[in-house]
């Protein structure tokens, strides 16, 4: 079985049972990843948010939940 690699430093990451930082190799790499999310280096793709004078608003929905079966 292949040993998973840390997504930050690419060293071997111990299995979850023996590694509280899994899927990272260490607490340090886990915190580096958190910092990237908080610093907006990572982003989840989606529709742009429109802004008006009252602030950001959610994009309009394209479907009605009642139409989904």
Here the CATH number for the domain that contains residue 27 is 3.30.50.10
Vertex 39: Cα angle to 31 and 52 (nearest 5): 145
The stretches in the chain having pLDDT less than 50 are none
d(CA 29, CA 21): 8
Domain for residue 47, yes or no?
no
Contacts of 28 (CB under 8 A, 6+ apart): none
The answer, as to whether pTM is greater than 0.75, is no
Domain for residue 4, yes or no?
yes
Residue 17's domain spans which residues?
Answer: 1-42
Domain for residue 36, yes or no?
yes
């Amino acid at each position: 079985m292949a040993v998973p690699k840390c997504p930050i430093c690419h060293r071997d990451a111990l299995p979850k049972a023996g590694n509280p930082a899994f899927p990272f190799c260490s607490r340090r790499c886990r915190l580096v990843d958190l910092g990237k999310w908080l610093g907006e280096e990572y982003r989840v793709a989606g529709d742009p948010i429109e802004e008006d004078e009252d602030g950001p608003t959610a994009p309009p929905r394209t479907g009605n939940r009642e139409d989904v079966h």
